[in-house]
Structure 1
Amino acid sequence: MDRVLLRRDGAAVVATVCAEDGTPGAATVLPAGELPGWVAAREAAGAVRWVWDDTTRWYPALLDAGVRVERCTDLRLSAAVLRRSPYAGPTPAPDPGWAALEPVTAGDPALFDLADPADSLDPLAEHRRQQAAVAASPHRGRLGLLLAAESSGALAAAEMTWAGLPWRADEHGRLLTGLLGDRPPPGLRPPVLERLAGEVRAALRAPDLNPDSPVALLRALQTAGLPVEDTRSWTLERYEHPVVPPLLEYKRLARLLAANGWAWLDAWVRDGRFRPVFLPGGVVTGRWASSGGGALSVPVQVRPAAVADDGWRLVVADVAQLEPRVLAGMSRDAALADAARAADLYAGMVAAGVVATRAEAKLGVLGALYGGTRGESGRMMPRLARRYPRAIGLVEDAARTGERGAVVHTLLGRGSPVPGGAWAQEAADLGEAPEPAGRDTDRARRAWGRFTRNFVVQGTGAEWALCWVADLRNRLWRLGPGEPLHRRPHLVFFLHDEVVVHTPAYLAEEVGEQVRQAAATAGRLLFGDFPLDFPLDVAAVRSWADAG
């Protein structure tokens, strides 16, 4: 496979063919405007991996020109992984500019900005450094898979932003009107919120209260005799008082208005598409983030507005209990893998006689993943430790490692950040957990242990999901030969353990099968022949809300 590194040189682009270790070979200089055609020709000629500083700086303009690429190496994302990975082999220190380089999330649709900080970096030198770090790794295969999946995720993210999630602005408007009343003039509340605000004021005997002010609301609640210390919904739910029902409803609808109201609709939906900017690796565990639009928290109230085009369907798929299944695979715990062979892992634990009820199973597993050692989840832990010693041992070891101030890592080698604070420095110096110097120090140490306990599992879950998306992306491309990206089945949404594909209706069943096969492939890539199932809920629907 050819590796072709692209870099800017003024108004031109230099394309350099590189050896596997990054050694440069023949170079081609071409005007920026000719790049899309040149890339398309190389893609058609055979397998090629494009190496560039950052996918967000190169790929959107190629997509605008109708060019889709199959593989890339994103040096910015790879540098971030290698910076923390304990799997990376020794190399010279990278240019600090790579750590400071930010993705492009909005702006000029031109190929690249004339004043881009990426231009001060040397992508060829960084590529060679990264290839050396992987070559010298004691876990070269795992680390190489992680970097390839991260870069493929960057391509998928750019394509999802470019294609957009089908969104009916008229339907969204009807939903808002049904819930909130007619759209008000700027600065005023919708009718339903104004009515609820009046009910809250009346119940609290506070005619001038602004329920959007937490300070004023807390004072009014306390004056009315409610012994609350905050205005959170779960705090209010514990009390019986005439103000509670209208206030809870007010808070629910106010959140909807702020997050996905008419202003959101005006800002984020264009030409029948919602186009958020997805940010692979945006969370320290490797999970994605998003920029603007709240793409990773679209509430169920507005999902009926996500409607497939005429003659098309949305194929919605999510994996059940991803993190416990990943824990079974990375710990090679055969008993937990047996439970995971059930569509509902928690039901599988009940069937195996580990716990009496599904609720107990869920509490116990969540306690293991998030460090719940008290209450009902803590009561379940001894049973889980006896039945699943390898799985529970893995997360316990990760917690103890974090409490010592040391780094933990995912299955493929993403490293956790180093903790801050005096206790962490002392732990690093001693190589072990320091004696508690006080309640706050001990609390910080244990909190970091809970973080590292979850980091190893959540991060490995993110790796599985990246491999799933990477394989699915290419499978979908093969379903529509001769058609451009937006006329074939294509990904339009991804959130941790859920994907949404927009597809011609006649291909919906085949897309569902490809989604399942990609999940199986991801399992084999990470866990080899270890017997582990990743069952999916898959639905082909007109509206996202119909997927359940």
Structure 2
Amino acid sequence: MQPVVVPEPGGTVRVVGLGAAGDERRVAAGELAAVVREAEARTEVGPRWTWGDTNRWYPALLAAGVRVERAYDLRLAHRILRQSALAAWPGPDEAVPGPWDTMPPAPLTSAGATRDEPATLFAGLGPVEDAPEPDPHSELDAQNTAVEGSSAAVRLRLLLAAESAGALLAVEMYHAGLPWLADVHDAVLTEILGPRPRLGERPARLEELAELIRSALDAKPSLNPDSPRDLLKAMQYAGVGARSLRKWELERLDHPVIEPLLEYKSLYRLMTANGWAWLDAWVREGRFRSEYVVGGVVTGRWASSGGGVLQLPKNVRRAVVADPGWTFVVADAAQLEPRVLAAMAGDEAMAAAGRGADGRGADMYAGIVASGAVATRELAKVGMLGAMYGGTTGSSGQVLPRLAKAFPRSLAFVDEAARAGERGEVVTTHLGRSSPLPGATWHEAQSGAYQDDAGEDEVARARSSARSWGRFTRNFVVQGTAAEWALCWIASIRRRLWALGQAPDATDGPVPEPFAGRPHLVLFLHDEVVIHAPASMAEAVTDEVRGAAAEAGRLLFGGFPVRFPLSIAVAGCYADAK
């Protein structure tokens, strides 16, 4: 059963395709949750809801305590299929972009709401209650035609299902929130920066460092270390020799200003990214909620809209503390991208290195050393990163020939992806997400090199831009397929956690319905997950997370003998798990 949710003028919703006979129901927006709850309870598997944008419809359902098992997100699927070289989209590729091409995800916060009004976040249908939405029926037909006409239909369907499951999970993590103790966060900031300053003033430690910087540079008391222009000018006057304020360049210099300046930059970044203003804006009622942007990176990786959930520094993770009676299960995939590369390339030698002598394969780089390809783990890591990201100089360039000899299929796979990019061609991930074409600047550089009067500068510019795009496509196929594995992993985790049910000793607490008493995902960082679970269920959750990793590998690569081992820790505080 695949009911389609259709918004109508006047705040009503039409649900088409309910039941075996394809019944249709028209209800007020506020009654949709009851319709979904009834349909979800009717069958063991549950329907596959189809709607234009998960962000638009799902928050209100969760606010009513209704969880959806399966959904199909037309907006996300459209973006993949229109770009994919494997999809046979009906109509010319150069057609003028339509409403599905330009539709952004609905924000999860209500229009005009402030963060002092958390109760409004899931009101009604959210911020776009009366916004027009393109016809979902014709779009669904076009997408089905595109997939059915593809020679890779099975893989595309898996990608679209995983992307849609990710959209459900992103809204669920926003709804549940990441447990966060504001008083602990404040104590961390006070310990590192000093007491909270008055508005417009620096914290005590930053002011101390600012004075040290001025003294080391023999600069005026008015020198503002927050101004890169003024700071570089003072450093030039003092003969420091810095051409920029990049950390790697400063670390190479020998001058009394370097040590306080590096500490200042680090603490200033903490204050601006996760300081008291961040705490006031993003933490409410013991929870941090940030909007994930599913597929927000061109490779399919997620991004975030506000709050910086994908970049939580180690020191503030001390504030991420599980609720009383609960704990965190933190898992991350070991060397995910090189394992994905081995599977994509069908490289059994590299897959064997990933399994290791004991068959567990917790450290692929150690397995590469054991294969005799390189002498040390560090060289194995540097070489593999160079292969996947296009590093051809230094230690990476020296190691690559040895890796190419030991694992020719894997190295040839990424080399071919790079050559395709250098030619301006599209490359595609294992399941079917395709890279964009290079832009106008790239084409101008290439055409300029073929002019009759082209000089050495034009040729060098064309060669440089071609290689740069080749490095992008080299990594695109690996990082994009790793993102697909991660999507399948979290989709499997989500399903498995729900199947575990409620903890027998569950008590009322801050976890909202429908997740009260149930383990649930609260954080996803590319190849890492954090699950908030009743302490009595930690072992069962750990088993399911491992099972989900194995399932993701089978879904993408069938019986190919590549392993995806996990590092898993159980801790009451996120900082203690890392």
Q: Conserved in 1, the CA contact under 8 Å of 2:299 and 2:483?
A: yes
**Would the aligned equivalents of 1:101 and 1:117 in 2 still touch at CA under 8 Å?**
no
The residue that corresponds to 2:410 in the other structure is: 391
Corresponding position of 1:107: 110
Structure 2: unaligned runs, 5 residues or longer: 112-121, 356-360, 448-453, 504-512
Q: Distance in 1 between matches of 2:127 and 2:382?
A: 54
1:183 and 2:196 equivalent?
yes
Alignment of 1:54-65 (within 5 A): 54-65=53-64
Q: Matched residue pairs, number?
A: 540
Question: CA separation of 1:426/1:252 partners in 2, compared to 1, >3 Å: closer, same or farther?
Answer: closer
Q: 2:484 matched to 1:463? A: yes
C-alpha separation in 1, matches of 2:445 and 2:275: 49
The answer on whether the counterparts of 1:493 and 1:499 sit within 8 Å (CA) in structure 2 is yes
**Offset at 1:112?**
3.0
Confirm whether residue 32 of structure 1 aligns to residue 45 of structure 2: no
What aligned pairs does 1:415-430 form with structure 2 within 5 A after superposition? 415-421=434-440, 423-424=442-443
- Contact 1:89/1:137, CA 8 A, preserved across alignment: yes
In structure 2, the residue matched to 1:488 is 518
User: 1:137-179: CA deviations, max 9, x gaps?
Assistant: 1001000000000000000000001000100000000000000
Secondary structure at the aligned position of 1:500 is classed as: strand
- Quick check: 1:74 aligned with 2:95? no
Q: Deviations over 1:86-116 (max 9, x none)?
A: 1112313686111111112222433336866
Structure 1 pair 492–423 and aligned structure 2 pair: CA distance change class (3 A): closer
Matched, 1:15 2:45: no
Which amino acid is 1:33 matched to? Answer: G
Could you tell me whether the CA contact under 8 Å between 1:279 and 1:288 is conserved in 2? yes
Structure 1 362/489 Cα, relative in aligned 2: closer, same or farther at 3 Å?
A: same
Matches within 5 A, 1:289-368: 289-341=303-355, 342-368=361-387
CA distance in 1, matches of 2:127, 2:564: 46
Structure 2 CA distance for partners of 1:427 and 1:193, relative to 1, 3 Å:
closer
User: Does the alignment pair 1:260 with 2:250?
Assistant: no
Alpha-carbon distance, 1:438 to partner = 2.2
SS of the residue 1:503 aligns to: strand
1:134 to partner: Cα distance = 0.8
Q: CA RMSD in A?
A: 2.1
Comparing 333-342 and 145-154, the one that deviates more: 333-342
Matches of 1:419 and 1:507, distance apart in 2: 49
Secondary structure of 1:119's aligned partner: coil
Structure 1 residue 479, shift from structure 2 partner: 1.2
The separation in 1 between residues aligned to 2:398 and 2:130, in whole angstroms, is: 54
Who is 2:421 aligned against?
A: 402
TM-score by length of 2: 0.90
Give matches, 1:230-309, under 5 Å: 230-309=244-323
- Higher mean displacement: 349-358 or 482-491: 482-491
In 1, Cα distance between equivalents of 2:571 and 2:39: 37
**Structure 2 Cα separation of the partners of residues 356 and 138 of structure 1:** 43
**Contact 1:134–1:143 (Cα < 8 Å) also in 2:** yes
Structure 2 letter corresponding to 1:285: T
Give, in angstroms, the shift of residue 339 of structure 1. Answer: 1.0
1:424 is displaced (CA, Å) by 3.5
1:84 aligns with 2:83: yes
Partner of 1:203: 216
Equivalent residue of 2:500, what SS?
coil
Which 5+ residue runs of structure 1 have no aligned equivalent?
429-433
The alpha-carbon distance between structure 1 residues 49 and 425, as it changes in their structure 2 partners (threshold 3 A), is farther
Residues in 2 aligned to 1:176 and 1:221: alpha-carbon distance in whole angstroms? 29
The answer to whether the 8 A contact 2:389-2:471 is kept is yes
Q: Could you tell me how far 1:117 is from its partner in structure 2? A: 8.6
The DSSP-based 3-state class of the residue aligned with 1:383 is helix
Asked if the contact 1:3–1:19 (Cα under 8 Å) also holds between the matched residues in 2, the reply is no
Shift of 1:487: 2.4
CA displacement at 1:26 relative to structure 2:
3.4
Structure 2 contact 445–461 (Cα < 8 Å) conserved = no
- Mapped to 2, the partners of 1:83 and 1:132 lie a distance apart of 12
Please state whether the residue corresponding to 1:241 is helix, strand or coil: coil
Query: Which stretch of the first structure deviates more once superposed, 484-493 or 162-171?
Result: 484-493
TM-score between the two structures when normalised by the length of structure 1: 0.95
1:44 corresponding residue in structure 2: 41
Counterpart for residue 116 of structure 2: none
Q: Distance in 1 between matches of 2:463 and 2:305?
A: 35
Deviates more, 1:2-11 or 1:113-122: 113-122
List aligned pairs for 1:511-526, cutoff 5 A: 511-526=541-556
Report SS of the residue matched to 1:229.
coil
Letter in 1 for 2:547: Q
Q: Does 1:166 align with 2:179?
A: yes
SS in 2 for 1:89: coil
The secondary structure found in structure 2 opposite 1:296 is coil
Once residues 115 and 530 of structure 1 are traced to their aligned partners in structure 2, the CA distance between those partners, rounded to angstroms, is 45
Equivalence for 1:412: 431
Does the 8 Å CA contact 2:391/2:397 hold for their aligned counterparts? yes
CA contact (8 A) 2:326 2:532 kept: yes
8 Å Cα contact 1:161-1:276 kept in structure 2: yes
- CA offsets, 1:471-512, max 9 Å, x none? 000100111259832420000000100000000000011101
Q: How has the CA–CA distance of structure 1 residues 218 and 463 changed in structure 2, closer, same or farther, with 3 Å as cutoff?
A: same
Structure 2 counterpart of 1:84, one-letter code? Q
C-alpha separation between the residues in 2 aligned to 1:535 and 1:144? 26
* Cα deviation digits, residues 187-239 of structure 1 (max 9, x gap): 00000100110011011011221000000111111111111110112211111
Q: Which moved more, 1:234-243 or 1:272-281?
A: 234-243
SS at the partner of 2:382?
A: helix
Corresponding residue to 2:537 among 507, 532, 547:
507
User: What amino acid does structure 1 have at the position aligned with 2:474?
Assistant: R
Label 1:435 to 1:135 Cα distance change in 2 as closer, same or farther (>3 A).
Answer: farther
Paired letter, 1:400: R
Q: Deviations over 1:355-408 (max 9, x none)?
A: 001111011101100101122101111111111111001100000000110100
Residue 192 (str. 1) matches residue 192 (str. 2): no
CA contact (8 A) 1:405 1:425 kept: no
Inter-partner Cα distance in structure 1 for 2:76 and 2:64: 24
